[in-house]
Chain A
Amino acid sequence: MDLAVEVENLTKRFGDFVAVNEVSFSVAEGEVFGFLGPNGSGKSTTIRILCGLLSPSSGHARVAGLDVWRDAERIRQRIGYMPQFFSLYDDLTVAENIEFYAGLYQVPPALALARQSELAEVLELGPVLDRLARTLSTGWRQRLALATSILHRPPLLFLDEPTSGVDPLTRRLFWEVIGDLAHEGITVFVTTHVMDEAEHCTRLAMMHYGRLIAEGTPEEMRTEHVQTMVEVQAHPIWPVLQALEKAPEVVEVALFGDAVHAELRCDLNDAEARVERKLQTAGVAYERVVAVTPSMEDVFVSLARRWERPTAAGADR
């Protein structure tokens, strides 16, 4: 399989601040590549470099085999980009925005109209085509932005947090559309800070403070990086949290909804029993202890803490 994106030791500095730190990964054609990480971890910066909008400070990045900085102009027609923040014209209508970008990508007018009605159908934009973008709510603006970025059928699509700030229905629609695009053979590079959206991706990379801390399929992420996850339900929950934080066999404890998720260092069949024993000796009341499959958020919290520890506690490692 050909590589749609190749990144080697990519670093981006803003003055003294390192926003992207020696990052390497690659994306194969046809993948839905999820780029995860909390706010400020360097996702948008990486995407902007890949779109030729920012120069890399060091390292290499290639899109379709072309250097993103030197050959930026040759890449333009082959990529679509939906920025994190709405970047279309407030004082143009939805249809006018679409028409404008169709013109810039030199989509022939007849084809542009056909694509517009097709996209209006898929993204349910029909009723708002003649409304000024200014009057739309976030969900609709995001739909318009997505439509604009795929008008010219780019083989590679960059979506920067397409689902941030949108309602659950739009969110689901977006992932359906992303799935359809991938089905047509379009490579999708999508960032999100909502870890559980990662389930929709074929492969993931996780960013934290500008570093890439893990990479793999969602399945690999769950099984390789987190050993054993136990969920404890209790009322009140705080004593459980405190009791487990002190236990030596517990790697991580975190609140998850109204339960506690604890990651353990031992193997699975023993885990529930160990936790129950721990809670009983500490004299803490609980309702239920069950082993669970770790969610992507668990994976991230666990990985992030592991990365933070050496800087936080110095000689710990």
Chain B
Amino acid sequence: MSRLRALLRKETRQMRRDPVLLRMMLIAPIMQLFLLGYAATNDVKNVPVALYDADRSTDSRLLAELIGHNHYFHLIATPDDPRALERLLLAGKAQLGVYIPHSFHRDRLRNATPTVGLYADGTDSNTAGVAVAYMLGLLGEQGLRWQLQQARAAGVGTSGVPQLLPEPRVWYNPELKSSHFMVPGVLGMILMTLALNTAALSIVREREGGTLEQLMVTPLLPRELILGKLLPLVVLSYVEMLLVLAVALGWFRVPLEGSVPLLLLMSLMFLVSALGQGLLVSAFARTQQEAQLTSFLLLTPSMLLSGFMFPIQNMPRVIQWLTYAIPFRYYLEIIRGVFLRGAGIEVLWPQTAALTGISLLLIALGVLSFRKHL
């Protein structure tokens, strides 16, 4: 115990004297959250739309107005020539092209089926898909409204026209803001990256600097060394976590609906798992450079296979199995669940158990595998 206490005091002293570490641990994550919170978004907003109106009727003007006022779309041009529409798409200036034929108004009044041409630039298939869907919704809704009007005016009642007006309700993230979905994940990723990298350097720095040689001839036990290195980093990264969390809540206004104690406890476990991986890397690396490369290699599957970037259910079965070995996977489910769905331990207990288990296993592995020689 007294040896552990000596090591803890020494580690804290060194930490306090390391301005680079403090800057990296406390300021960098907040900057990253700002950058990624805004950049890493799938929201489809302000899709540039070009519209060619051959009809020039009240109907076609109404459609143009609806598109112009919708915040998903930004009407950038209304060319007088259909070929100009194509050029705008080709140049990437517009992502959607809307073509209203000259017979539109007439067709509608004649109860023929009026058509609108819709052209999308599919280069960015995700955005294109979402934009097309939004546009179809907008046009379809207006179509229904016209049909109802016409039916009433003709006095035929509403039996002849479709009655179904779907009204979708989205739960848990009602505005479908992807920043609400992304920010908790980004938060986890930032914390993991920093924790892993810092821990990965902690032992190997002493190895490379030669101080480990003197440390290893003392009676210090591997578990004391691992704990002595781990605990100060846990405290530091936890403070960092609280700061980043405050920014997520205060600035990004991510709704925090679920169990706060569960979130705080599991964030601790998640940090321990990242620090545990880092310490393992550090115990075996010969040089700091080797440690940094190894932790980078460990981070890649965490980002790709955790569900952070791609939904797990879309992955091949074998890859899905692999994801169970990734602590970030469980933390993502927990943090998204707590933040957005208001979930608590009663539904998140499997993830909680898995994350706790992996964290403790990693620490045990570090203690058991550390060898006190050069």
Q: Which residues of A contact B5 (CB under 8 A)?
A: 103
* Pair A53/B219 contact, Cβ less than 8 Å: no
Decide yes or no whether A89 CB sits under 8 A from chain B.
Answer: yes
Known A86-B210, A87-B210; contact A101-B373, beta-carbon cutoff 8 A: no
Decide yes or no whether A72 CB sits under 8 A from chain B.
Answer: yes
* Pair A105/B219 contact, Cβ less than 8 Å: yes
Q: Which residues of B contact A101 (CB under 8 A)?
A: 214, 218
Q: How far is the CA of A86 from the CA of B209 in the complex (A)?
A: 9
* Pair B211/A53 contact, Cβ less than 8 Å: no
Q: How far is the CB of B297 from chain A (nearest CB, A)?
A: 27
Decide yes or no whether A135 CB sits under 8 A from chain B.
Answer: no
For chain A residues 8-35, which have a beta carbon within 8 Å of chain B?
A: none
Among B6, B18, B214, B215, the residue within 8 A (CB) of A91 is B18
Q: How far is the CB of A222 from chain B (nearest CB, A)?
A: 34
Decide yes or no whether A136 CB sits under 8 A from chain B.
Answer: no
Q: Which residues of A contact B18 (CB under 8 A)?
A: 91
* Pair A89/B211 contact, Cβ less than 8 Å: yes
For chain B residues 195-247, which have a beta carbon within 8 Å of chain A?
A: 209-220
* Pair A87/B14 contact, Cβ less than 8 Å: no
For chain A residues 148-176, which have a beta carbon within 8 Å of chain B?
A: 148
Among A51, A85, A102, the residue within 8 A (CB) of B217 is A51
User: What 0/1 readout, one digit per residue, does chain B (1-25) give for beta carbons within 8 Å of chain A?
Assistant: 0110111011001100110000000
Decide yes or no whether A313 CB sits under 8 A from chain B.
Answer: no
Known A52-B373, A53-B373, A88-B211; contact A100-B216, beta-carbon cutoff 8 A: no
Decide yes or no whether A128 CB sits under 8 A from chain B.
Answer: no
* Pair B211/A87 contact, Cβ less than 8 Å: yes
Decide yes or no whether A83 CB sits under 8 A from chain B.
Answer: yes
* Pair A83/B210 contact, Cβ less than 8 Å: yes
Q: Which of A74-82, A225-233, A245-253, A291-299 contacts B (4 or more CB under 8 A)?
A: A74-82
* Pair A104/B373 contact, Cβ less than 8 Å: no
Decide yes or no whether A278 CB sits under 8 A from chain B.
Answer: no
Decide yes or no whether A54 CB sits under 8 A from chain B.
Answer: yes
Q: Which residues of A contact B7 (CB under 8 A)?
A: 100, 103-104
Q: How far is the CA of A79 from the CA of B217 in the complex (A)?
A: 8
* Pair B214/A54 contact, Cβ less than 8 Å: no
Q: Which residues of B contact A197 (CB under 8 A)?
A: none
Q: Which residues of A contact B17 (CB under 8 A)?
A: 91
- Give the interface centre of A52, A53, A85, A86 by most chain B CB atoms within 10 Å: A53
Decide yes or no whether B105 CB sits under 8 A from chain A.
Answer: no
Q: Which residues of A contact B9 (CB under 8 A)?
A: 99-100, 103
Decide yes or no whether A57 CB sits under 8 A from chain B.
Answer: no
Q: How far is the CA of A52 from the CA of B211 in the complex (A)?
A: 16
* Pair A103/B2 contact, Cβ less than 8 Å: yes
Q: How far is the CA of A77 from the CA of B219 in the complex (A)?
A: 6
Q: How far is the CA of A87 from the CA of B216 in the complex (A)?
A: 11
Residue of A nearest to B374 (CB): A53
Q: How far is the CA of A104 from the CA of B373 in the complex (A)?
A: 17
Q: Which residues of A contact B372 (CB under 8 A)?
A: 52, 72-73
- Give the interface centre of A55, A85, A100 by most chain B CB atoms within 10 Å: A100
Decide yes or no whether A48 CB sits under 8 A from chain B.
Answer: yes
Known A72-B372, A101-B218, A106-B219; contact A87-B6, beta-carbon cutoff 8 A: no
* Pair B219/A76 contact, Cβ less than 8 Å: yes
Q: How far is the CB of A50 from chain B (nearest CB, A)?
A: 10
* Pair A104/B218 contact, Cβ less than 8 Å: yes
For chain A residues 95-115, which have a beta carbon within 8 Å of chain B?
A: 96, 99-106
Q: Which residues of B contact A86 (CB under 8 A)?
A: 210
Q: How far is the CB of B257 from chain A (nearest CB, A)?
A: 45
Q: How far is the CB of B226 from chain A (nearest CB, A)?
A: 15
Residue of A nearest to B16 (CB): A91
Q: How far is the CA of A95 from the CA of B250 in the complex (A)?
A: 45
* Pair B373/A55 contact, Cβ less than 8 Å: yes
* Pair A52/B217 contact, Cβ less than 8 Å: yes
Q: Which residues of B contact A87 (CB under 8 A)?
A: 210-214
Q: How far is the CA of A72 from the CA of B218 in the complex (A)?
A: 10
Q: How far is the CA of A100 from the CA of B11 in the complex (A)?
A: 10
Decide yes or no whether A213 CB sits under 8 A from chain B.
Answer: no
Known A55-B373, A100-B9; contact A89-B14, beta-carbon cutoff 8 A: yes
Decide yes or no whether A301 CB sits under 8 A from chain B.
Answer: no
Among A53, A88, A89, A103, the residue within 8 A (CB) of B216 is A53
| Additional A-B contacts beyond A79-B217, A87-B211, A103-B7 (8; CB < 8 A) | A76-B219, A77-B219, A87-B212, A87-B214, A91-B13, A103-B9, A104-B3, A104-B215
Task: Tell me the A residues contacting B by CB distance below 8 Å.
Answer: 48, 51-55, 72-73, 76-77, 79, 81, 83, 85-92, 96, 99-106, 148
27 A-B contacts (beta carbon < 8 Å): A51-B217, A52-B217, A52-B372, A53-B213, A72-B373, A73-B219, A81-B217, A83-B213, A83-B214, A86-B210, A89-B14, A92-B10, A92-B13, A92-B14, A96-B10, A100-B6, A101-B214, A101-B218, A102-B6, A103-B5, A103-B7, A103-B9, A104-B6, A104-B215, A104-B220, A106-B3, A106-B219
